């Protein structure tokens, strides 16, 4: 990226958005799109998801509350659930505690990219040349989440290294404090409050956190749906 601007905040039609929810929505949905899921429809609540499926009967209901799959839903929020056998060619109606709200906040953008540590380099490549990139860190229940802020900061730093200007103190501060080494990223995600909470739920959740802590292990970026 030799020009353009990156900022933390909410986008308009003249920009693209990057949504980050490391634990676990943007990681899981990146895996889902890599496995062939057709698109992601973000909704705010489980009831809204159920109503939406009446309009998209071929869709899968996906999401979580308090980390656990919503009763009656097809899939939860673990990256290991989103296999090609389950999701290829299917739309996903997604309702999670934090990630779907961040995606809804990006709804005005021309295009919304999913980003997490696992595909960060690919996302940087995908937004190269954009005039303005808004970065939305989901956080946890409307509050700061260490892993999301760290991921947003590393994204901003990598964009700045390609010539983008960083708009606002939040973007510049996050970039200045970003952790760049893979082992440091892994330690940060696993030791974050959210990471510790998930790991305490059991070995399957600990495996999720371990996967979400990988840096640049998926070589492609995905939007919540294909453009055009």
Whether the pLDDT of residue 2 is over 60: the answer is no
Average pLDDT of the residues of the chain: 93
Instruction: Please indicate, yes or no, whether the overall pTM of this predicted structure exceeds 0.75.
Output: yes
Whether 158 is in a domain gets the answer yes
Closest C-alpha to 2, from 137, 124, 122: 124
Each residue of 27-53: pLDDT tens digit?
A: 999 999 999 999 999 999 999 999 999
Each residue of 63-120: pLDDT tens digit?
A: 999 999 999 999 999 999 999 999 999 999 999 999 999 999 999 999 999 999 999 9
Whether 53 is in a domain gets the answer yes
Whether 228 is in a domain gets the answer no
Each residue of 143-198: pLDDT tens digit?
A: 889 999 999 999 999 999 999 999 988 899 989 889 889 999 999 999 999 999 99
Q: What is the pLDDT of residue 142?
A: 78
Confidence of residue 141 (pLDDT cuts 50, 70, 90): confident
Closest C-alpha to 189, from 26, 9, 16: 26
Whether 166 is in a domain gets the answer yes
Domain CATH for 187: 3.90.1560.10
Whether the pLDDT of residue 227 is over 70: the answer is no
Q: What is the pLDDT of residue 12?
A: 72
Q: Indicate the angle between helix axes 203-212 and 182-191, nearest 10 degrees.
A: 140
| Number of folded domains that form the chain | 1
Whether 173 is in a domain gets the answer yes
Q: Give the residues across from 8 on adjacent strands.
A: 135
Record the tokens describing residue 92, joined without a space: 């996903």
Output 221 or 143, whichever has higher pLDDT.
Answer: 221
Q: What is the pLDDT of residue 226?
A: 62
Q: Tokens 């700061």 — which residue?
A: 144
For 123-148, what is the mean pLDDT? 92
Q: What is the pLDDT of residue 228?
A: 37
Euclidean distance between CA atoms 129 and 185, whole angstroms = 27
Domain enclosing residue 212, as ranges: 5-223
Q: Tokens 């995600």 — which residue?
A: 189
Confidence of residue 140 (pLDDT cuts 50, 70, 90): confident
């Amino acid at each position: 990226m030799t020009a353009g601007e990156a900022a933390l905040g909410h986008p308009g039609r003249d920009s693209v958005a990057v949504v980050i929810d490391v634990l676990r929505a943007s990681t899981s949905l990146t895996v889902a799109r890599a496995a062939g899921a057709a698109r992601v429809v973000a909704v705010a609540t489980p009831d809204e998801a159920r109503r939406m499926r009446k309009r998209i009967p071929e869709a899968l209901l996906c999401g979580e509350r308090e980390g656990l799959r919503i009763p009656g839903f097809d899939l939860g929020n673990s990256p290991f659930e989103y296999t090609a056998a389950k999701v290829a060619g299917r739309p996903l109606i997604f309702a999670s505690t934090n990630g779907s709200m961040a995606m809804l906040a990006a709804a005005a953008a021309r295009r919304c990219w999913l980003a997490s540590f696992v595909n960060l380099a690919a996302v940087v490549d995908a937004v190269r040349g954009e005039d303005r990139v808004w970065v939305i860190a989901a956080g946890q229940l409307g509050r700061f989440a260490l892993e999301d802020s760290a991921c947003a900061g590393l994204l901003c730093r990598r964009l700045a290294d390609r010539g983008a200007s960083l708009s606002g103190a939040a973007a510049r501060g996050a970039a200045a404090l970003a952790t760049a080494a893979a082992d440091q990223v892994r330690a940060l995600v696993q030791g974050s409050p959210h990471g510790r909470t998930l790991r305490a739920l059991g070995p399957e959740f600990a495996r999720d956190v371990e996967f979400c802590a990988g840096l640049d292990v998926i070589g492609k970026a995905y939007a919540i749906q294909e453009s055009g």
